[in-house]
Amino acid sequence: MSVVEYECVGDIGLLTLNNAPVNALSHSLRSGIVDALRMASLDQSKAIIIVGNGAMFCAGADIKEFSQTPQAPSLVDVTECIENMQKPVIAAIHGNALGGGLELALACHYRCALASAKLGLPEVKLGILPGAGGTQRAPRIIGLEHAFTLITSGNPCKAEKALSIGLIDHLVEHDQDLVAAAQKYAQQVLNEGLPIRRSSQSPIDKQNIDSDWFDKKRAELSKRARGQIAPQHIVDCLEKALNAEFVEGMQFEREAFLNCVTSEQAKAMRHLFFAQRLAAKVKGVSPDTSKRPIKSVAIIGAGTMGGGIAMNFANVGIPVTLLELSAESLTKGLQLIEKNYAISVSKGRLSESQKAQRLALISGSTSYQELNQVDLVIEAVFEDVEIKKQVFRKLDEVCKVGAILATNTSYQDVDAIAQVTKRPQDVIGLHFFSPANVMKLLEVVRGAQTADDVITTSMALATTIAKIPVLSGVCYGFIGNRLLSVYLRQSQLCLLHGATPEQVDSAMTNWGAAMGPLAMNDLAGIDIGFKARQGLSDDKKGSPEVYAIADAMYHAGRLGQKTAVGYYRYDPETRARINDPDALAIIEAQSAKFGIPRNAQTEQEILNRMIIALVNEGANVLHDGIAQRSSDIDLVYIFGYGFPAYRGGPMHYADSIGTKKVFEMVCDFASKFGNTYWTPSPLLKELAEKNLSFSDWDAQQSNSK
Ligand code: T1G
């Protein structure tokens, strides 16, 4: 079956894109389109429709070809070929028209779409920009303001919105046959003698575009997309579109595109694109493994986490029962959920009726008996393993055969929890991140006896509730928190050795992290970390100086934002973070107490201590078989811990430095600070010696299965 099919039906030519699964514009598809258009230009057709076969119109350029030598015809050639046709060309869109797929449609003279279709230019999420005329045609069709939003957000817009901003010309109702409707629309274009409308020749509406419009947009993006290069290039391209001829604008866009696509940022974001698709695959478990139906869910504990978790299921139409010990705490929990939905309504992200629909799916209970028919239970009670075991004994008594029993623990031993039930094969960890209704990451923790269908059901369910699933084995803190503990430890040791809180945090935020470790501690509450450490065995706690500063903050009543003082002082009005000499005094006192000299540290050294420690522990997590692949660890840190996507995650960042260099850095730190906390991971050592990268290791592992 060829990737392009063309037939002339009456006087309408029908060109079908046929490159499953997403009609990615590979070289063969681009060539096929040009050949078919050449055919159409010579046959008796009076108009041509371009439509996609399968799930969607077109998902854009073939991302897999980015690292290959470009082959003609390019996508720009294809769009020129379409626009220069002497017969009206109409795009008939269903499913997704994204990136180059939408650029293809923008080169068409008219566009119609099914009401369920989505249209977008998501290139910025790959660290690039639309490279086939999107930055030049979009502003000519929908104006600069809408083009700016569409291209810099990268988020798709629904067909109805697309019609309202002029991105499409004709909406086809859900229940209609798209091709038939498009043929009828094409006939209407012909009958009404509508012109061949070439968007490259349309002027850009300058209304409301005052002289500093572009600079205002640049300033807005330097906040919203801090550290990213592509968004700034996009504004440059839009400015060129306004101030230059189309051909010159296309040339400018081409150069900007090439600049971005070869950048480290684009490589990092492409890595994440494919990492997300890989993460859902579980080694050793056949993708055909059956899945248990999840039509109803119960959450034990209506606290902040329980409420947020419940919202994820109600958001996708799955009824949820929230269980609490008392009616009072249940009411509190339900009120918090209502408040969260009300905030979404106030921000225009949700309609009142959607809010009502979702709240109607969330019910409360104080009786375990009422959970005897649910398909999945997620325990989200206080982080104490004995309390969790009590809950699981109860669930084991009341839940139906085949129900999945999950724990939202962030650290505890899932196997120990499973052991208190007579059905450990039905027990799994589903570790959500706070706020659970917002954070995209879901660590799926497979226990030693967790059944394959429980794993595949949980991985698929994560996608259903719009989460990114990452599979983890059982160890203290799983993937994310196990690495976090070595990262936070280094942040404390940097303070002891002479850094200030601001130096530690800005090392991470200047690297692109949303927040530094100490500001994060102040936000989460220094008491949380302190109490968690009390439950740790000495070997996990580490030597007394490691958390001496954090403990001193706790004992000084400096718990962070909740007490307006922690590693920083917080302005009572604005909550602005202020450097606090009192905090520094506490830090210096602990250095003195342990006889540790305070020396100046460069920002790079502070950054390296935290990131390289995290990478080294990442290698241990791979070596111990806790994580399936290094790209999974990258997803955990991007979608669970606010690491910058344009760095690709800690393991990808390590590959950009080179495992040999990373190994040497670990050894240097060991010689400088001792190897208590700087023992090179055996896997890191092996990769360095063999001059292999972590992604080489991933590939080897996936080939060895
Ligand atoms: N290129 C290559 N492969 C792609 C692809 C693409 N554009 N899109 C998807 N795939 C693969 C994907 O890896 C997976 O493979 C399979 O298709 C199904 O995808 C010049 C330069 C369309 C919303 O950013 O957002 O155009 O894992 O599991 O959940 O301006 O895929 O099965 O082997 O994601 O239903 C811009 C990217 C490109 C859209 C469907 N386009 N794709 O989601 O399926 S840059 C994008 C998506 C560009 C021009 C520039 C999603 C989807 P495998 P999937 P899905």
Mark 501-513 as b/e (b = at least 16 C-beta within 10 Å). bbbbbbbbbebbb
Q: So what's the pLDDT on residue 542?
A: 80
Average pLDDT over every residue of 676-687: 96
Residue partners of 16: CB distance under 8 A and separation at least 6: 4, 5, 6, 51, 52, 53
- Cα torsion angle, 241, 247, 250, 255, sign: negative
Give the 3-state secondary structure of 308-337: HHHHHHHHCCCCEEEECCCHHHHHHHHHHH
Q: How far is the CA of 80 from the centre of ligand 1 (A)?
A: 23
> Is the CB of residue 68 below 6 angstroms from any atom belonging to ligand 1?
no
Contact of 405 with 432, CB cutoff 8 Å: no
Report, as an integer, the average pLDDT of 283-304: 95
Bridge partners, 120 (sequence order): 98
First CA to last CA distance, the chain: 32
In tens, the pLDDT along 32-58 reads 999 999 999 999 999 999 999 999 999
CA distance readout (Å), 133 to 15, 46, 563: 21, 26, 53
Summarised one tens digit per residue, pLDDT across range 61-111 is 999 999 899 999 999 999 999 999 999 999 999 999 999 999 999 999 999
- Mean pLDDT, to the nearest integer, of 181-191? 97
How much is the mean pLDDT over the chain?
96
Distance 615 CA to ligand 1 centre (A): 29
Q: The pTM is what?
A: 0.95
| pLDDT surpassing 60 at residue 125 | yes
What pLDDT is recorded for position 609? 97
CB of 103 sitting under 6 A from ligand 1: yes
60 within ligand 1 shell (Cβ under 6 A)? yes
Distance of CA 143 to the CA centre of its chain: 29
Known catalytic residue at 383:
no
Question: Of the given ranges (125-129, 527-531, 600-604), which has the lowest mean pLDDT?
Answer: 527-531
- Looking at residue 448, its amino acid is A
**CA pair distance 401, 660, nearest whole angstrom:** 51
The pLDDT of residue 705? 56
Q: What is the CA radius of gyration of the chain?
A: 28
Which helix or strand (DSSP H or E) is residue 577 part of? strand 577-579
Rounded to whole angstroms, what are the CA distances from 234 to 248, 554, 559, 583, 647?
A: 15, 47, 43, 43, 20
**What ranges make up the beta strands (E) of 86-242?**
89-93, 96-98, 110-114, 118-120, 157-158, 170-172
Q: Distance between CA atoms of 178 and 180, rounded to whole angstroms?
A: 6
pLDDT digits (tens, 9 = 90+) for 101-124: 999 999 999 999 999 999 999 999
How far apart are the CA of 148 and the centre of ligand 1, in A? 22
Dihedral pair phi/psi, residue 182, rounded to 5°: -70, -40
* pLDDT reading at 535 higher than 80: no
Q: Is 689 a catalytic residue?
A: no
pLDDT band of residue 540 (cuts 50, 70, 90) is confident
Beta strand 12-17 pairing with 4-9: antiparallel
The verdict on the CB of residue 24 being under 6 Å from ligand 1 is yes
Distance CA 451, CA 406 (A): 13
Closest residue CA from atom 27 of ligand 1: 277
Q: Does ligand 1 lie within 6 Å of residue 59's CB atom? A: yes
| Interval between CA 273 and ligand 1 midpoint (Å) | 8
Count Cβ atoms within 10 A of the Cβ of residue 59 and give its class: 0-12 exposed, 13-18 middle, 19 or more buried. buried
Average pLDDT over residues 609-613: 98
> How far apart (Å, rounded) are the C-alpha atoms in residues 585 and 592?
10
> What was the pLDDT predicted at 112?
98
- 110-114 and 376-379 as β-strands: parallel, antiparallel, unpaired? unpaired
Q: Which has the higher per-residue pLDDT, 1 or 297?
A: 297
> What local confidence, expressed as pLDDT, does residue 538 receive?
72
> Does a cis peptide bond (omega within 30 degrees of 0) precede residue 70?
no
* Helix, strand, or coil (residue 171): strand
pLDDT of residue 188: 97
